A and B are shown apart, each in its own frame.
Chain A
Amino acid sequence: MRVSNDFNGGIMMQTKQGVWSDEIMAKLVEGNLEPDVLLEMQREAKEEDRFDHVLRMEQKRVPWPDRIVLCLQENLYIVEKANKERIVKCLCGHEFGDYRKNYKESALIYERDTDEKLEEVFRGPRKTNPEWQVIREIYCPGCGVMLDVESVAPGYPLVFNFLPDFEAFEKNRKGE
């Protein structure tokens, strides 16, 4: 792993410990990393403390005090409440409930199941046939951000994207 680089107006990309600077990591977390730095990061070996570093940066970014234990996806976090309960929470502060349940079951659903609704996004032949496929948009009830888009057959259950295994993660960390 390289010790340092000097791209982007002199921002030191890595310290001697082989960790990306907070400035770089803040951009990574915001999703606005410059292409040349992104490429450099893709080429380098992944640092051991990446998970914790990203969590620290995300914690600085959110407008609420709950401790983030995992970034579930864009705009959604699993946080630990004072009573140790782990719940899914949006960047806006809306809380969805226990992380072991699909957050979508507490979200707003908009199904594009007609030609008219589909054509608002996909014009003419670029839309799907709603007899075969619907586009489901999942919104946060707190802020209206679009959290997921499903393209599934009519009647398909809501897709549970990801159930994290915290126990396995801790075992992995302890080297068990």
Chain B
Amino acid sequence: MGKYKELLKKKLADKAAEKFPPLVELHKDPIKWEVAYWRLLGIVNEGREITRQISASPTVKEFGECVFSIFTPTGESIGFSRGILLHMASMGSAIQWMIQNDYEEAPGINPGDIFFNNDPQIGGAHSADQAILLPVFINGEIVAWVGGLTHCMETGSTEPGGQSPSALSRYDDGQMIPCMKIGTNDSFHRDYVVMVERNVRDASWWILDDRAKLAGCIKMRDSLATLIDEIGVDYFNTITYEMIETGRQAAIAKTKKVFFPGTYFTPFFFDVPFADPAQRIRIPVDYMPHIPCEMVVGADGKLEFNHEGISSPGYHSNNASYPCTLGNLIYMLLQDVYYDGMYNNGLADAFKLNLREGSIANCGIQYACSVWMAAGCLAGSHTRNVAMAYYAMGIREEGFAIKAATGAAFAGGIDRNGKQFGIGNFEMSCSGMAAGANMDGLYACNAPWNPESNLTDVELFEPVWPLMWLGRGVQTDGGGYGRHSGGAGIESLYVIEHNPQYIESGASTPLDYVTNWGMMGGYPAAARYKYFLTDTNYTEAVEKQLPLPHSEGDDPENPEFAQLLKGKLLRRPAQCAGTSLKPYDLVHHTTGGGGGWGDPLLRDPASVAWDLKNGFISKHAASEVYCVVWDDKTFAVDEKATEKKRQEMRQRRLKRGIPAQEFKKIQREKLIAGQLPQICKITYNDCFKYSQKFLDKFKKFWSLDESFQRF
């Protein structure tokens, strides 16, 4: 057995037995220890910034879709940079995979070697997440690894743009390179570069990102060598494990302080409407995955995340690998709870993740993961659990309803220069934030997986993508209604330029489901969809200087762009398969909003009028959901009439609400009579099959016969 394999085996055994290292050096000289930690964080952030400056990709340079880290010889992260926090678990698990698969013997791990991974089953969310890993040697021994990961805009997947919404299996997900040695002596192998050049539509993003990451990693390796030279290798080896242990202890202490012990539960469903003939999917099957999320807070501050009754994976792109799901949970906890702790692997040791092997969030190698919605939804549900735990403890400045499950547009084809292109516009980095107990959700600011990301100027995309933005703004009624309203995402409207061939696809939470739950009486955010306006008179409108559209307006059924321009209006699910478009066709898409918080009837009427005046909500919402009465010219609220209207609504609720026991009786009868849509039956039967606990819970709640096994 290789030396590092043996070491890893011991580390994992210690962890399983809850044997953690003592904090000797920390207590001996805390200043020296702390300085070393912050220098390590400086090194990883330096690596990230160098890469961002070198990268040619707007995704990396502008959105900041990259992250860098230093790892122990056995793949535990010691310090993480800012960026895609999702990948705290990705690169480390790739290092451990190489060690467990005897890479020490073949292909060998030597100074100057460059390793690459984008296999999500090993580490990452999808093939677009591409890591470069370098071992750091001192005196012939590996003392650390340095790694950098970027999101690549084109991977050679079935559909262009790095993420293929209609991918049905792993083999549609793009070029996979599972932990391959792609270079020696700090140089890429020529045959690796040729392989990339020939297997993806536009290899420049991939290759240039690789070069940028390599530069960042080499700089980190050099800086680390300088630090180790100063503090000594033995001291470094000791404190790195102490830093991880400090991270674990800090996480447990925080949980103990801010969460009320108990059991919290939020289920999540989303839809995959692939049977729709307009989607033209080659295995046209609908799915409606169920992701039940339970968080248990123990007296000792430890967290347990359970998912009894979770759906199975399927022939769609929303499955997630275990590293992806773990990474999603980590980024949620890091942002919502442990933001003041250590940025390292320690927090992953502070909780237990229970997930059925072979479930949609821990899928097998054959399943497509391009969009990995399962993991994002799982983390989103636990956000709501976290918010309830904070609330119970009186921590009401923290905690949010469910943030937007983000969505963006992906496209490819032949560009204006006759060159192949594939690209994803990361506008999803500006989806809506959810509301909290004391604040509205912010508009157009949220990317749960990367809090550092930023919405790129359209001018940076237009040169590399043959289209032109006609408008970009906050979507009306995009956030969940509530006493504090959820933040809306953005909407974008663009026109395809005069290129010969263009394919458009889109990935996000699909059409039929409202996924981003509100809380405490707040509504979830609106469902998403995508509009195409084809065969337009755009050129005529330009020639005649007619008014051009810039947005959807405030009537989603009759969008403004379809009123100002002639054309054929097509509505598709937000997660739609590749759709062929022509020059001067229009595309409209949205990025999603966050859930609302509290009963909308308790929202300050003046805030409702302000939202209306500024176009953030429609008249319909102000009048029918918030029950506010205002003056159309001045937007002044008629407080007396508003109170009367709200009182009437409360009376309507009391009248239309059915006592729960009666509700249960009616529903039970329907269930026994089999009056349930087929898609629900399929989903429930799958969940029952794999979880006796879920079946028992279902039977108990509806008082079903003991013999009931499936619909």
On A, residues with C-beta under 8 Å from B are 28-29, 31-33, 35, 38, 41-42, 45-46, 48, 50-51, 53-55, 70-75, 104-111, 120-129, 131-133, 135, 137-139, 141, 143-165, 167-169, 171-172, 176
Residues of B within 8 A of A42 (CB): 397-398
Complex: how many Å from CA A130 to CA B711?
Answer: 19
Closest 3 CB pairs of A and B: A108-B657, A54-B394, A144-B650
- Say if the beta carbon of B483 comes within 8 Å of chain A: yes
Question: Which residues of chain A come closer than 8 Å to B481, judged between CB atoms?
Answer: 121
Q: In whole angstroms, what is the CA distance A48 to B385 when docked?
A: 22
| A-B contact list, 16 entries, CB within 8 Å | A42-B397, A73-B520, A122-B527, A131-B679, A133-B269, A137-B657, A145-B521, A146-B653, A148-B519, A149-B522, A151-B513, A151-B514, A153-B288, A153-B684, A155-B684, A165-B263
Chain A proximity mask over B667-678: 1 for CB below 8 Å, otherwise 0:
100110000110
What A residues does B671 contact at CB under 8 A?
A: 155
**Contacts of A70 on B, CB cut-off 8 Å?**
260, 392
Contact A133 B659 (CB under 8 A): no
B644 smallest CB distance to A (angstroms) = 14
Task: Please report the C-alpha to C-alpha distance between residue A38 and residue B140 in the assembled complex, in whole angstroms.
Answer: 52
Interface string of B478-519 (1 = CB under 8 A from A): 000101100000000000000000000000000111110111
A162 and B653: CB pair below 8 A?
no
Nearest residue (CB) in A for B296 is A165
* B606, chain A: closest CB distance, angstroms: 12
Q: How far, in angstroms, from A122 to B480 measured CA to CA in the complex?
A: 10
Nearest B residue to A28, CB-CB: B396
Size of the B side of the interface (Cβ < 8 Å), in residues, is 93
Interface-side segment among B7-15, B578-586, B696-704: B696-704
Which of B83-91, B443-451, B597-605 forms contacts with chain A?
Answer: B597-605
Assembly CA distance A75 to B697 (angstroms) = 28
The answer to whether A107 touches B394 (Cβ under 8 A) is no
- Chain B interface residues (CB < 8 Å from chain A): 256-258, 260-267, 269, 271, 288, 290, 297-301, 340, 388, 391-398, 437-439, 477, 481, 483-484, 511-515, 517-524, 526-527, 529, 555-557, 571, 597-602, 618, 620, 624-625, 649-651, 653-654, 656-661, 663-664, 667, 670-671, 676-677, 679-680, 683-684, 697-698, 701-702
By DSSP majority rule, is chain A's interface helix, strand, loop, or mixed?
A: mixed
Q: Is the CB of B676 within 8 A of A154?
A: yes
> When chains A and B are docked, how far (Å) is the Cα of A171 from the Cα of B297?
13
- Are the CB atoms of A164 and B266 closer together than 8 Å? no
If the complex has contacts A29-B396, A31-B396, A73-B391, are A125 and B527 also in contact, measured as CB distance less than 8 A?
Answer: yes
The answer to whether A159 touches B659 (Cβ under 8 A) is no
Report A120 CB to chain B, min CB distance, Å.
Answer: 6
Question: Could you tell me if A168 and B298 are in contact, using CB atoms closer than 8 angstroms?
Answer: yes
A132 pairs with B288, CB closer than 8 A: yes
B299 touches A168 (CB 8 A): yes
Contact residues in A for B299 (Cβ distance below 8 Å): 165, 167-169, 171-172, 176
Contact A121 B397 (CB under 8 A): no
Q: Chain A residue with minimal CB distance to B654?
A: A144
Nearest-Cβ distance from residue B308 to partner chain A, whole angstroms: 13
Of the candidates A41, A149, A171, A176, which one forms a contact with B523 in the assembled complex, judged by CB atoms under 8 Å apart?
Answer: A149
Contacts of B257 in A (CB 8 A): 46, 48
Chain B residue numbers with a CB within 8 Å of A75 are 520-521, 599
Collect the chain A residues with CB atoms within 8 Å of residue B396's CB: 28-29, 31, 54
CA distance A77 to B262 in the complex (A): 15
In the bound complex, do residue A109 and residue B438 qualify as a contact, i.e. CB atoms below 8 Å apart? no
Contact A133 B394 (CB under 8 A): no
Q: Which A residues lie within 8 Å of B653 (CB)?
A: 108, 110, 137, 139, 144, 146
A72 contacts across to B, CB distance below 8 A: 392
Does the CB pair A31–B437 fall under 8 Å? yes
Interface contact B512-A164, CB-CB below 8 Å? no
Contact in complex: A124, B556 (CB < 8 Å): yes
Q: Is the CB of A168 within 8 A of B261?
A: yes
Residue in A107, A120, A145, A149 whose Cβ sees the most chain B Cβ within 10 Å: A149
Known: A70-B392, A73-B519, A161-B264. 13 other contacts (CB 8 A): A29-B396, A75-B599, A123-B618, A129-B513, A149-B521, A153-B288, A153-B683, A158-B701, A159-B267, A168-B262, A169-B261, A172-B300, A172-B301
Whether the Cβ atoms of A169 and B657 lie closer than 8 Å is no
Does B398 contact A157, Cβ atoms closer than 8 Å?
no
- The smallest C-beta distance from A101 to any residue of chain B, in angstroms, reads 11
Question: CB distance B571 to A125 under 8 Å?
Answer: yes
Assuming the A-B contacts A144-B651, A149-B518, A155-B680, are A53 and B394 also in contact, with contact meaning beta carbons closer than 8 angstroms in the complex?
A: yes
Partner of A158, one of B297, B393, B660: B660
Could you tell me if B394 and A135 are in contact, using CB atoms closer than 8 angstroms?
A: no
Q: Which residue of A lies closest to B660 (CB)?
A: A105
In the bound complex, CA of A139 to CA of B651 (Å): 11
Cβ A108 vs Cβ B392 within 8 A: no
Candidates B394, B512, B657; contact of A129 at CB < 8 Å:
B512
Q: Which residue of A lies closest to B530 (CB)?
A: A125
Which residues does chain B contribute within 8 Å of A128, judged by CB atoms?
A: 512-514, 527
* A54 CB contacts on chain B under 8 angstroms: 394, 396
Q: For the complex, give the distance between the alpha carbons of A35 and B484 in Å.
A: 13
Across the interface, A160 reaches (CB within 8 A) one of B265, B511, B670, B679, namely B265
Min distance, Cβ B520 to any Cβ of chain A, angstroms: 4
For A38, give its contact among B439, B517, B663, B684 (CB under 8 Å).
Answer: B439
With A and B bound together, what is the CA distance between A132 and B512 in angstroms? 7
Distance in Å from the Cβ of A80 to the closest Cβ of chain B? 16
* Min CB–CB distance A40 → chain B (angstroms): 9
Q: Is the CB of A71 within 8 A of B391?
A: yes
CA distance A104 to B701 in the complex (A): 12
A123-B477, A146-B599 known; A169+B260 contact, CB < 8 A: yes
Let me know if B657 and A73 touch, CB within 8 A: no
For B514, the chain A residues whose CB sits under 8 A away are: 122, 127-128, 133, 135, 151
Q: How far is the CA of A142 from the CA of B697 in the complex (A)?
A: 29
